[in-house]
Amino acid sequence: MSQEPVIKTFSFSYFMTMALVISFFPLYFDSLGYSKLQIGSLYSIGPAMGIVSNLVWGLLSDRFQTLKKTILAVLAGQLIMVLLLFRTDVYSILFIIMTGFYFFQTPLNGLNDSQILLHVKSTGKSYAGFRIFGSMGFAFAAVLCGFVLTSMGVSVIAYLTIGSVSLSLLLALFLKDNRAGMKRMELSGVWKVVFSKRFLLFLVLILVMSIAHRSNDGFLALYMKDLGADKDLVGLAWMASAVSEIPVLFYLSKHGHKYKELPLLAVACAVYAIRFFLMSLAQGPGWIIAIQAMHSLSFGIFLVTALRYIQQIVPDEYRATGQAVYNIAWSGAAGLISGFAGGHIYDLWGGVILYRFAAATAVLAGIGFVTTHFLQRNTGDVPITISKGESV
């Protein structure tokens, strides 16, 4: 079977699950009577566990030169956790189950990106052409599940999540392991890649920018509920953001190489800042749906540009590990900070202050990207040397 439709369909299915976790899990936890701080704590388990699990599964994938088996393993574990997840409403037990769920769920984004990047490098295709199917899967699940939950109740999210994870597991059986024959990863090289000054500085700036992004991920549904939105409107807001990515991804797949990465990331930060400040001014849920369309120029630019930068500095044999460390910064550490700090801010001062905090964080990251660009332009990019005769 041709790999292109398999990878695209798998991305579609995987992002359906992501839409459920990001968009509707907070509403499910809210229906159990948990406080914003408790929900923020549950939301923070994923990023906290992702710090460990991304690195563990990324290293295993690189060490044994297999993406397919790694993806199958994390999906199987994810399905087991999902089957347990909706059988309890006891917070302490739910906390433990969510820890296991996120151990298997958080690495999948990086593993999926790794398989796409390796495939497009060998075929000459564009990353954005595959990632668009993830956006469509997210949009499809967000709007459909929003309407389903409104008509049938929040409890139906259990069946939707089990179905989407099972579909991803089935599709993963048809993935081709395209790492056979690749140069074997050496553990000493991991240190040189991960702890290079260039990579570390990039990760710090990504972390700061992602705190803003993850604050919106964790609390958008609750903020919209406070503004009077039904579950279907929450789904429409997430659909608006996912669909808005598609034209930007198309454009960057054709013309992204014309722009320097760090200034482009600074532009994404500026859009994030404007977007979240406008969110703090919104007077009703309808405004939120319109503002979410700015996701196109914030996350759309960030996603493609950051991955393009990583592809330049991380060798193929370290692809999954480099992607895992990047995910630790933008998803794990940022999500952990935004979950706990965001939940605390929301409980004390409300969603308006939370979104202004996110806007300020985005401004800080943008200044960092611009400053780093000018410093690197004056000193020149220093390649990451892996071994004699090799550099990136």
pLDDT per residue over 98-126, tens digit each? 999 999 998 898 889 888 888 887 787 77
Is 141 a residue whose pLDDT tops 80?
Answer: yes
Is 378 a residue whose pLDDT tops 70?
Answer: no
CA distances from 18 to 168, 207, 214 (A): 11, 20, 13
Tell me, what CATH number does 377's domain have? 1.20.1250.20
Q: Say how many C-beta atoms besides its own lie within 10 A of residue 254's C-beta.
A: 12
Q: Are the C-beta atoms of residues 94 and 43 closer than 8 Å to each other? A: no
Is 281 a residue whose pLDDT tops 90?
Answer: yes
d(CA 136, CA 290): 18
The alpha-helical segments, DSSP class H, found in 106-174 are 107-123, 127-152, 157-172
d(CA 86, CA 22): 16
Q: Are the C-beta atoms of residues 29 and 236 closer than 8 Å to each other? A: no
Beta bridge partners of 390: 387
What share of the chain has pLDDT > 90, as a percent?
A: 33
pLDDT at 148: 86
Expressed as residue numbers, the domain containing 262 is 3-391
d(CA 250, CA 248): 5
Is 369 a residue whose pLDDT tops 70?
Answer: yes
Stronger pLDDT, 196 or 363, i.e. the higher one: 363
Q: What is the mean pLDDT of residues 325-343?
A: 82
Specify the number of domains making up the chain.
Answer: 1
DSSP state of 385: E
Q: What's the chain's average pLDDT?
A: 84
Among 372, 345, 375, CA closest to 358: 345
Q: What is the mean pLDDT of residues 122-147?
A: 83
Confidence category of residue 179, pLDDT binned at 50, 70, 90? low
pLDDT per residue over 22-78, tens digit each? 878 888 888 888 887 788 778 778 777 877 888 888 888 877 778 899 999 999 999
CB-based burial label for 181 (10 Å; 0-12, 13-18, 19+): exposed
d(CA 214, CA 220): 10
Which range scores top for mean pLDDT: 213-217, 283-287, 351-355?
351-355
Task: Name the CA radius of gyration of the chain, rounded.
Answer: 20
pLDDT per residue over 216-251, tens digit each? 988 888 899 889 888 778 878 888 888 888 888 888
What are residue 33's phi and psi, to 5 degrees? 90, 15
What's the token pair of residue 166? 């099972």
Q: What is the mean pLDDT of residues 329-350?
A: 84
Q: Are the C-beta atoms of residues 201 and 36 closer than 8 Å to each other? A: no
d(CA 259, CA 41): 39
